[in-house]
Chain A
Amino acid sequence: DVVMTQTPPSLSVAIGQSVSISCKSSQSLVHSDGKTYLNWLLQNPGQSPKRLIYQVSNLGSGVPDRFSGTGSEKDFTLKISRVEAEDLGVYHCVQATHVPLTFGSGTKLEIK
């Protein structure tokens, strides 16, 4: 199974700051169809996850452009520019290139 190593496990940031979360995979996430199926999710407290980014860098519908995703092969980053209060929660990366799909261990974002 592909191991997704997500760091840091937690972050505490002030409103308006920028932060980055890393996700590294144990195998290349480039699919045989040429696409890279790496998604980023946000789970606000007490809520189900919601999709932020798909295929590394594509912003989901309705997601603010403060969120951006970069990376390739085995190394991926989610950046949040100008953090807002509504951004608190747990961020998850998930690879959907290989079965079984696997998730990172999560990054808990707290607001100072």
Chain B
Amino acid sequence: QVQLQQSGAELAKPGTSVKLSCKASGYTFTSYYIYWVKQRPGQGLEWIGYIYPGNGGTYYSEKFKGKATFTADTSSSTAYMLLGSLTPEDSAYYFCARSRYFDYWGQGVMVTVSS
């Protein structure tokens, strides 16, 4: 069965970076886009962008350019999102999801930015 397994919660200091992972299983990793979504506690969903593991192509929402960097390791079927220059406004849940149809989601990972 299709699964997206995300890495564990992160506690980071302002100005540092965190690298989140999303390990895919149960389907051909290189055939589907991976989308990343942000949700601040009690708030709505915000689209960060996507990576297509088939060719490494990426797209970033304007707001997240320079903040997020997507990569993918096809040997381990894992997508990554590096969040840099962290500020308290980056404290949120981050989800990965498969494709524009959002048919499968990771369980989410909480990132807390605090000194």
Q: How large is the interface on A (under 10, 10 to 19, 20 to 34, 35 or more residues)?
A: 20 to 34
Smallest Cβ distance from B46 to chain A, in angstroms?
Answer: 7
Whether the pair A60, B44 counts as a contact (CB closer than 8 A) is: no
In the complex, identify which listed stretch (A13-21, A76-84, A94-102) lies at the interface while the others stay far away: A94-102
The binding surface of chain A is classed by DSSP as loop
Q: How large is the interface on B (under 10, 10 to 19, 20 to 34, 35 or more residues)?
A: 20 to 34
Whether the pair B105, A48 counts as a contact (CB closer than 8 A) is: yes
| Chain B positions within 8 Å of A92 at CB level | 44-45
Cβ < 8 Å to A, chain B residues 87-109: 95, 97, 100-108
A-B contact count (CB 8 A): 56
Which residue of chain A has its CB nearest to the CB of B4? A48
Whether the pair B100, A101 counts as a contact (CB closer than 8 A) is: yes
Whether the pair A103, B44 counts as a contact (CB closer than 8 A) is: yes
Whether the pair A37, B100 counts as a contact (CB closer than 8 A) is: yes
- With A51-B102, A51-B104 already in contact, 10 other A-B pairs whose C-beta atoms are closer than 8 Å: A54-B102, A60-B103, A61-B103, A94-B45, A99-B61, A100-B62, A101-B61, A101-B100, A103-B47, A106-B45
Question: Which residues from chain B sit less than 8 Å from chain A, CB to CB?
Answer: 35, 44-47, 49, 59, 61-62, 95, 97, 100-108
Q: Can you list 22 contacts pairing A with B, beta carbon distance less than 8 Å?
A: A39-B101, A39-B102, A48-B108, A49-B45, A49-B105, A51-B102, A51-B105, A54-B101, A55-B101, A94-B47, A96-B101, A99-B59, A100-B47, A100-B49, A100-B61, A101-B35, A101-B47, A102-B47, A103-B44, A103-B46, A105-B44, A106-B45
